Structure 1
């Protein structure tokens, strides 16, 4: 069971782009291929409906919206199955098979021109791609926990995960870029059947690439979905509040949830515990940090999440950074020399869990009335989700504007002078701009905004402020779309250059970076770890809600001109921003759920990695009694033996998500 000391090293060129073990690369490569199929089908769908089945422009737009909504509502099903039954890996595999069947049906509908077959294909594609959405990004981030992977020295957990998700988001846009460039050409020269067929072949290759390293993937056992319990807590809380405070009690909850943040410098905060450790003082024992009747084991069990890197200073890196972790006594060091830091770390983690629990109790607000009926863990979890739902519901309208890139903007371009381009090729502008602008945003724009925020706190670019900026930019984008539409209507047919659309493409991309790139990353840090899958599904549900709104609005406004419809969407976005601003001002943030990344090797830890799903024999996963021990062991799970356990590797923050479009 001996383990060598963690090697100190710098990052390789590949790690600067995509950190983690080789399994991460397979996940990302599979994602590029799957996104190629998704965006390729989406690029040519509107023209397929209008040119082959002769739908009117408003009807084709509504069908496009409802199909897109299905791809974002299906994550609720995929997330539930992943959490309760199959786990992330096998959920991805099973829904990918459904996805391939749907893509094949869509290809056959293009050959036979059978509308019913096309709609069956669209439904299956929506279920398939939606089912894997809440799993892929989190599954890729989970691979960063592989105990065989030694992160570069000095890299904090938050830095490691942030790089992964930035690269993951870029991979999505890489797949969509090639889809928008190539499949419209396949449609032009080979017909819709050639374009859909090529997309189906690439999707099949995506599944093959994902399955290749299935024996090496790091996986967690499905622990059951707690969605029903969370919904029961929310229903009971709403019922109690309606009974005692009236139907509109939720308005007072929003206004009372001031934007207080649990700061690290509070007397009982995480940073206080870490600073006492650094100063050589004895930190409070875990039992002293907990409520009456709660023991050390339950404290660590409650805080079983991945440690987030603190932005405060190097003292936090004792908990979050692999570089600062002390060598294990099993690596040859003195137990006396290393035992105390390990105990100190456990105490700091328990303290952080207590601080987060206190913040969640304050955030719960109206749900606190049902604490006697449900456990504190259930109520805290429900609070961590319900607090972000108002934000998600308001920004849903953003997606009603954003997704018009694939329908109304294509139809607008069809009536313009295209030059050498196809109308459905213009969608390539968005992923191309994202890949160019996102690194600039991360490396230059955001640091400048943060520097400005330090000088003037009111200008601090918090995630909620950045999301608000994205909403305003989307509104202004549709003012430009209305102006372009007015010019087209006032000019001879095919006389207005399609380059006039370029400013609206640039603005919607900037809006996407400010809102989409930030939104899920923010929400993922606010939810409890065991609810982060639900959180991601709720984010996608917000996307679907926006598409439903868009489809209904286009059906209700058939008599209006397209210019008037664009102006209507711009005005609605401004109204939504006003409501969002009220909610954001009243939002209370909580610190990420903390715990150190342990070396996985004890029987309990090995067992936690093995899914008892129906595919274990196929995947060749060894049972826990035959799994070799790795760097360190915990013995009994979070019990007294944890005090003497080796904590030789500390890495990985809560997975910070991005919009997987």
Structure 2
């Protein structure tokens, strides 16, 4: 299949008459664009559906540490926004847009399939191998086609179809947001569907995006007879790199004599007009230097903000909501804030002489993003204070324990009765001495890990030679209560039922030498629950959100229980302020920044600056990976670091903006409405790049 650009390549295209009075609607509307728009909808649904649940999958199923989960998540996002450079070079210089989209989409669909297969219980090693391989292929796929699809859609129009082109990009933009919004709402519900004996179904949640990606490829190929295809030519990004490298080499070697500007040293190979365009790009790229920090904050909505949401009560105004579904606030708020800023806020401020320039709007937008992380930090402090300021010691040995420890140079003593629990607030002592009041248990010591990421519930149990203290991983988040059962007889059959006689699974969970059972049970107001174990009936209890219920069944079939708080009682509603701030920041910083860079780009360099903008997203996610590897002890501290980093970044940006001298619109606008002809196809359009979802 070859890509040519003549009338025979597209029998459905008609010749256009430049004198047609119906300006902007000459000829027939290209049927090909419907295939392209449907393809984009399916691809965006696939990508955002997968990414919405990715953080939870990495941490809860693949069991990566918090730092590794953030590193993988943001490393994946970084690759997705770095690969457009490769895709643009392949499309413009070698294969053309159609073949590039087709071949890379196949890789993309394979990656989704591999990720879905890795979600099955194939063993830790195989699951991780398939999942990481799938993510690598998806990054290559989504990044590779990112710079091609919008431009390929623009290629379907020729001179005289300006109005139709404008309509196309509006529909294209709507499909991007529709696909991402629907997938963000639906995929978490698929993830929460029980399957294979588990309370979640990641194979289904990843499988549906995989199917959508296959559908995307089928739709795209189906439109082949209607496409207007343009042959590959010279890639301006490669040419730009060649000009800069030529100038540097000639500077170092002292060739071409003295020049007013260091780029002028490339004039032995490149014409002066192109060199001037490169100079303009370099001036704008200088403004881009602080931009990555904004994306470092913005893209954490799917990682650290989702992690924060899992530690809260999963409801908004009493309506149950999964933690990853809070990401829906961003696209929904965009629909409200974008027109609000355009038609009300900006005009009002401009009347009083404020926010009159694009770079001023970007500075304010960055400050709003910084403020969102300070608000997020305060919320995280509240979460940590309720969730991590005290550890609970549960005594399951058959006698009381005398305790002694030193805290703040003062010796403290106490008694922990059998089947009882004790909460010790921070700062925790370095060592706790236990003296059992029964001969069968020897004295022992315990040094609690002074880490905010340590498990907060400790069970003291009798081992063959001594007692041991075992950390119990905390569950009971969201709308669930955590029910734990400690037993001496591994063969006991447990049953947990509510007052309606509905049964709940109590599964085995092994922690070091300790064998216990646990269940996460929906905490429904007014319901009572009863635990039975081979005829041993434990007390009937009512479960509440955010609490853990610990049952202990000893040798004589005596059943007792303790109640401990295991998570904060804060609703997901408290995340709304930070989402409002970050979305307002996106409207002012991201949309304005892209429009500014496009208006400042010379005619031959608009696609270069679009690629440069995407590259800032990749660099921003790299910054998050670096911070994750540093490993700050508290998440609230990490939020504070990002808030101050953005604040300092905007001070630096304001200085750069003060000294920047913008190019007049008339100098660069000559091609804003340029339409492709039979020999000069459209290479892209700003409207296809405005959305953060793109």
TM over 0.5: yes
1:467/1:518 contact within 8 Å kept = yes
Partner of 1:73: 82
Are 1:398 and 2:294 matched, yes or no? yes
Q: Which runs of 5+ in 2 are unaligned?
A: 1-14, 196-200, 388-566
Partner of 1:62: 71
SS of equivalent to 2:289: helix
Partner of 2:514: none
Structure 1 residues 76 and 3: CA distance shift in structure 2, 3 A: closer
Report deviation, 1:609. 5.4
2:236/2:608 contact within 8 Å kept = no
Structure 1 residues 439 and 169: CA distance shift in structure 2, 3 A: farther
Are 1:215 and 2:225 matched, yes or no? yes
Report deviation, 1:588. 3.3
SS of equivalent to 2:668: coil
Report deviation, 1:212. 3.2
Q: Higher helix fraction: Structure 1 or Structure 2?
A: 1
Partner of 1:383: 279
Partner of 2:689: 657
Moved more, 539-548 or 514-523: 514-523
2:291/2:616 contact within 8 Å kept = yes
Match for residue 576 of structure 1 among 627, 649, 654: 649
What's the CA shift string for 1:165-198, capped at 9, x where partnerless?
5654443222111111111111110400001000
Distance in structure 2 (CA, Å) of the matches to 1:520 and 1:573: 19
TM-score, normalisation: structure 2? 0.63
Structure 1 residues 435 and 118: CA distance shift in structure 2, 3 A: same
Distance in structure 2 (CA, Å) of the matches to 1:484 and 1:102: 37
Structure 1 residues 236 and 580: CA distance shift in structure 2, 3 A: farther
Distance in structure 2 (CA, Å) of the matches to 1:435 and 1:521: 18
Q: Which structure would you say has the larger Rg?
A: 2
- Quote the RMSD (CA, aligned, Å): 3.2
Distance in structure 1 (CA, Å) of the matches to 2:625 and 2:327: 20
Q: How many residues are matched?
A: 477
SS of equivalent to 1:606: coil
Structure 1 residues 497 and 378: CA distance shift in structure 2, 3 A: same
Partner of 1:335: none
Distance in structure 2 (CA, Å) of the matches to 1:58 and 1:88: 38
1:102/1:124 contact within 8 Å kept = yes
What's the CA shift string for 1:23-46, capped at 9, x where partnerless?
444333322221111111111111
Structure 1 residues 72 and 53: CA distance shift in structure 2, 3 A: same
Distance in structure 1 (CA, Å) of the matches to 2:232 and 2:640: 47
Distance in structure 2 (CA, Å) of the matches to 1:510 and 1:597: 29
TM-score, normalisation: structure 1? 0.66
Report deviation, 1:218. 3.7
Distance in structure 2 (CA, Å) of the matches to 1:2 and 1:584: 45
2:87/2:147 contact within 8 Å kept = yes
Distance in structure 1 (CA, Å) of the matches to 2:172 and 2:574: 31
Are 1:188 and 2:192 matched, yes or no? yes
Partner of 1:259: none
Match for residue 428 of structure 1 among 309, 328, 337: 328
Match for residue 126 of structure 1 among 139, 160, 165: 139
Report deviation, 1:431. 1.2
Structure 1 residues 235 and 435: CA distance shift in structure 2, 3 A: same
2:173/2:688 contact within 8 Å kept = no
Which structure has more relative contact order (CA 8 Å, sep 6+)? It is: 1
Q: Which runs of 5+ in 1 are unaligned?
A: 12-18, 153-159, 245-360, 612-651
Are 1:491 and 2:491 matched, yes or no? no
Distance in structure 2 (CA, Å) of the matches to 1:517 and 1:569: 21
Write the mapping of 1:140-219 to structure 2, written as runs, cut at 5 A: 140-143=153-156, 145-147=157-159, 149=161, 151=163, 161=166, 165=169, 168-189=172-193, 190=195, 191-219=201-229
Structure 1 residues 598 and 222: CA distance shift in structure 2, 3 A: same
2:358/2:593 contact within 8 Å kept = yes
1:173/1:432 contact within 8 Å kept = no
Partner of 2:377: 482
